[in-house]
Amino acid sequence: MHTSERNQTCNLLNLIGNTPVVNIMTSLFPYTDIKIKLESYNPGGSIKDRVALKMITDAEESGLIEPGYELVEATSGNTGIGIAWVGRLKGYKVTIFTHDKVSKEKLALLKFYGATVFVAQADLPADSESNYLNLAKDYCSSGYRYFCDQFNNLSNTLSHYKATAPELWLQGGRDADAIICGVGSGGTLMGLSKYFREKGSKAKFIVADPIGSIYKSYFCQQKHVSSSWKIEGIGSNFIPGIINQGVVDGVFSISDDEAFNACTMIRETEALDLGLSSGAIISAAMKLAETGTAKKIMCISPDAGERYMSKLQSHGDSDVRI
């Protein structure tokens, strides 16, 4: 092995990406090819490792940050965990603003990687001073603090356009009829759809959206009925700056129960551990497969159920007491 190859292999950051794709629900839907890309295989445990690394390296390369800066982000957890992990590797102090809907496992991971964490109230209107996003912006108004701003930062979209999308293309995406993802910041959706459209793919982009989120009404021009939901990482009560309307072909509204039940079903039938947004995506895949309109469906699983263990365990099934 050449020294340059060895150096590449030894850098922990090079372990990000090249995540596996597996077939699922083959007996439930024998005539539909359903595959899922497992982003929990990233070293920080989620799809957001890709985004964290790209936002940080792009900021370094354009001179927006240098050693000694503090990285700040507003996040439902995974982006923060990615930034805390990459930040620790690169020697930046990291401060994360999140909200009280986030699982205790994700909060523990943020602290574990050394981030300072502020927890705001969830589901506050986007214009509320106490909304976690506005608190993060305010915090960055002084000092050597850099607001990563995944909701408006094109490095987020680019991380998927440059890596997640070409991987998916080669892993079966080339002839997919549908690609299903969730939308939080919209980075995954925007990066994948840009790449696939440029490649001439006819795949339909389908969104799994929690009931109560604004995205269904935004993409499908329907009346919005707002409510809160438990599925973490997807859905929104505002439209992030990096999202365009024209890229989505369909939206399935998914309830918390449907997402929880899909996680349980996949765990029991396939021994596959998926997070709640993946549960919503699986639920959307089942609804789509039932229509018979897509022969090959590719799903993006952003993370695993391990980081929602307490929520998954307390939902429905309780321990047998003796």
Catalytic (active site) residue 48: yes
* CA–CA dist 174, 77 (Å, integer): 31
Within 8 A by CB and 6+ apart from 149, the residues are: 73, 74
Q: What mask, x for binding ligand PMP by CB under 6 A, covers residues 253 to 292?
A: ----------------------x-x---------------
Task: State which residue has the least CB distance to ligand PMP.
Answer: 233
Q: What mask, x for binding ligand PMP by CB under 6 A, covers residues 7 to 26?
A: --------------------
Among residues 48, 101, 106, 311, which one is catalytic? 48
For residue 188, state whether it binds ligand PMP (rule: CB under 6 A).
yes
Q: Which stretch binds ligand PMP (CB under 6 A): 131-139, 182-190, 219-227, 253-261?
A: 182-190
Contacts 24+ apart (CB under 8 A), 119-124: 122/228, 123/99, 123/228, 123/237, 124/99
Which of 45, 80, 87, 302 is the binder for ligand PMP (CB under 6 A)? Answer: 302
For residue 76, state whether it binds ligand PMP (rule: CB under 6 A).
yes
Q: Which stretch binds ligand PMP (CB under 6 A): 15-23, 66-74, 177-185, 206-214?
A: 177-185
Q: How would you list the strands of the sheet with 178-182, edge to edge? A: 21-23, 33-38, 296-301, 178-182, 204-210, 250-254
Give the interface with ligand PMP as residue ranges (CB under 6 A): 48, 76, 78, 182-189, 232-234, 275, 277, 302-303
